[in-house]
Structure formats: structure tokens, C-alpha cells
Amino acid sequence: MTTNNFNNMEESEKYMVDFYGKVLKGVENMMNTSPEDLKSDTLEKELVFQIGKSRLFHYKPLVEPDKVLKIPTMITYALVNRQYMMDIQPDRSVIRNFLEHGLDCYIVDWGYPTREDMYMTMEDYINWYMNDFVDYIIEHSGCPKINLLGVCQGGTFSSIYTALHPAKVNALVTMVTPVDFETNDGLLFAWSKSMDIDSLVDAYGTVPGSLMNISYLLLKPFDLIVDKYIGFGEKMDDPTYLQNFLRMEGWIFDSPDQAGETLRQFVKDLYQDNKLVKGDFKLGGETVNLKNIKCPFLAVVADYDHLVPKAASEPILDAVGSRSKKLLNFPVGHIGMYVSGKSQKQIAPQISEWLVNHSA
């Protein structure tokens, strides 16, 4: 949002005339914008495996076959948003950047849970779905181990998976991933500790994604509800800006419903009891010990993340048992990790380089 200091009525009137002119031009731009102009997830990929509503896709390489990394990488996103943030548009695509650096990428699409999925647990997602996806990649690539790259909650899942199935993981990368939930930095962590998650899940069964989305917007209400849309009005006369904005809005509000038992377990065992980093978390009756993660490990952290503060993501470096481990910090926010200029120029290239160097 532009800050305007009006010294007289004439300046104020001029600003309002200019503002409404931009809005009118923006409305015209919107009327001339087609759904095709706002498409995301445009990289060519093949559906290779499916379990229920969850699907595994394999991206077509963007380099010559002899330059493709032999060890594949499986990308796991959070349940609460859609994975195509990683390929939001061609000039802001983390996946495209990975592929151009020779990575062989698969991605998990968790789909849209419905009422029939309300009893799915973290064990189902990690020890069943993720494990079957990993087994498929191992079988079809001929590699005995693969790389895992987990994003936000998907990084928590990938860390748990690696601790339970270390023989299948060559290297692990976590991006803006919560592991130590003790902190109260950020409203999400403070609120979750006193949340009556039992009543919420018992009432809904499958918790509406729209309800989750409202909660995230209320973490920064002025920035995300007021300021953002005033700023939009000041710039919507620019067709490129308009399309980028609408494309991002489409992703933000494309929020799948949440399997109630998984959400209950994630909030109670992690946000409230912090069992994972304490070594008390169990999955399928087996205790998850992060020290069992001994493969090369890379943690990627955002300095200005209001959803996963550094106090929640950085401690994983001490929690894992890897001898080869590295922390990368970047001056971006949670979403800026994927769509900012630094994402394309620094973040994705450094992750790619690290994976190439640890996939011999």
C-alpha cells in the first residue's frame, strides 16, 4: 500500500481521481482476463501412482537425459494448501528451477479429503501413502534410496518418515518446517496451544479448509485483509500485476478440507505437547527418534516467516543425527520462499546444488 501525505484538499482530490481511474482500468483488465491467463501448475508431468485421492506425479525433465540426476527427489507439500505453489507460474516456479538444474522430481498431490476421510491419521499419510509413493519411485528408478524434500507440514512428515525408514532416504531437505513447537513466536503457535481441537474435530469430522483459511488470515488481519486489497486497487491497472495477484489469490483460497483425526493428532501431539522434538511422538506404535536421521540433511529457513518462526524450524538441525547437515537462512517470508526473486536467484539454485552434491 502506498502511503500518501496530503497537504491540501487539491492533492487529496487528485489522488482519489487517480485511484478510481486505476480501479476502472483494473476492472476492464479483469474483464479481459481469461482463466487460461491465470493457470498455475503448467509444467508437463505424468500421473504415475495413486492411492485414494492422493496422487504421485513425475515431472518431465528439462535437461538432456545424461544430465538428469540419477537419484530422484520426492517433494511433499503440506496438507493445508495445494502443492502447485511450487509451480505457481513459469517465471516463479521452484520446480522449473529444480528441473533446469537437472533434478529428477516427483511431487505428492494430497487431493481434497471428504467426509469419508475423516478418520485418516498421520500414520495413514506417512506410513501408508508416503511409504507407497517412495516404494514406487525406488522400484521404477532402480535407485535403492531417494531424496526427500518436504515443505512446511510436509517437511514434518518427511522428517518423521526418514526417522522411521532411514534405509530408503539418501538425503533430506526441509523447507520452512516446524519441528520444535515449544515457541510462542507467532500467533499460530500461541493460539494452537490453547485450541480446543477435540471440539472442533468432533463437530466437523472433516474440518473445512475455508475455516482454516480464515484462521491464517487473522494472524495478520491488517496486512492480509485490509492493506493487501487497498494496494491491489492502486496497481490493478497493470495487467501483469493483476494476473499475478489473481493467480496467487486463487491458490490462497484453494484450501482442502482437513482429515479430522490427522489434524487432531498434529495439534495435540505436536503443537500442544511438542512430542516430536522431545522424542515422545509415536506413529503406529513406534517411537519416532529424529536421531535416526543420519543421511545428509539440509534445513531451509525463512527469516520473516509468520507461520513457521525460526524458533520452530531451526532446532531440527540439533535434533537430527546427521553428520553432514547444513542450515540455509534467507530474508524472505513463508510464501516468499517460493515466489520471490530470491527464490529463483538464490534459494532454488542452492537447494539444487546441495542435492546434486549429496547424490553421488
Domains of the chain, first to last: 35-357 (3.40.50.1820)
What's the average model confidence in pLDDT over 44-52?
97
What's the average model confidence in pLDDT over 174-185?
95
Q: What are the Cα distances from residue 36, in Å, to 44, 51, 134, 341?
A: 16, 29, 33, 24
Please give the share of the chain, as a percent, with pLDDT higher than 90: 74
* Look-up of cell digits 532416504: 169
131 touches 165 (CB < 8 A): yes
Report d(CA 233, CA 242) in Å as an integer. 10
If pLDDT is split at 50, 70 and 90, which confidence band does 129 have?
Answer: very high
If pLDDT is split at 50, 70 and 90, which confidence band does 7 have?
Answer: low
**Helix ranges restricted to H, the chain:** 9-31, 94-100, 122-123, 131-141, 153-164, 187-193, 197-204, 209-217, 221, 228-235, 239-252, 260-265, 275-278, 310-313, 316-319, 336-339, 341-342, 348-357
Report d(CA 101, CA 82) in Å as an integer. 24
Which of 105, 143, 152, 295 is catalytic? The answer is 152
More confident residue, 301 or 221: 301
Helices (runs of H) and strands (runs of E) counted in the chain: 18, 12
What's the average model confidence in pLDDT over 91-115?
96
Report d(CA 58, CA 83) in Å as an integer. 13
Report d(CA 248, CA 85) in Å as an integer. 9
- Determine whether 143 is an active site residue: no
If pLDDT is split at 50, 70 and 90, which confidence band does 1 have?
Answer: very low
Give the bridge partners for 47, in sequence order. Answer: 57
More confident residue, 32 or 118: 118
- Kindly tell me if the per-residue pLDDT of 256 is higher than 80: yes
If pLDDT is split at 50, 70 and 90, which confidence band does 302 have?
Answer: very high
If pLDDT is split at 50, 70 and 90, which confidence band does 5 have?
Answer: low
If pLDDT is split at 50, 70 and 90, which confidence band does 55 have?
Answer: very high
If pLDDT is split at 50, 70 and 90, which confidence band does 259 have?
Answer: very high
192 touches 198 (CB < 8 A): no
What's the average model confidence in pLDDT over 145-169?
98
* Number of C-beta neighbours around residue 63 at 10 A: 14
* Predicted local distance difference test score (pLDDT) of residue 255: 93
The answer for residues whose C-beta is within 8 angstroms of residue 133's C-beta and 6 or more apart is 49, 51, 56, 74, 106, 108
Report d(CA 125, CA 259) in Å as an integer. 10
Report d(CA 309, CA 185) in Å as an integer. 6
Question: In this predicted model, what pLDDT tens digit does every residue of 328-342 receive, in sequence order?
Answer: 999 999 999 998 889
Rounded (10°) CA dihedral 91, 95, 101, 103 = -170
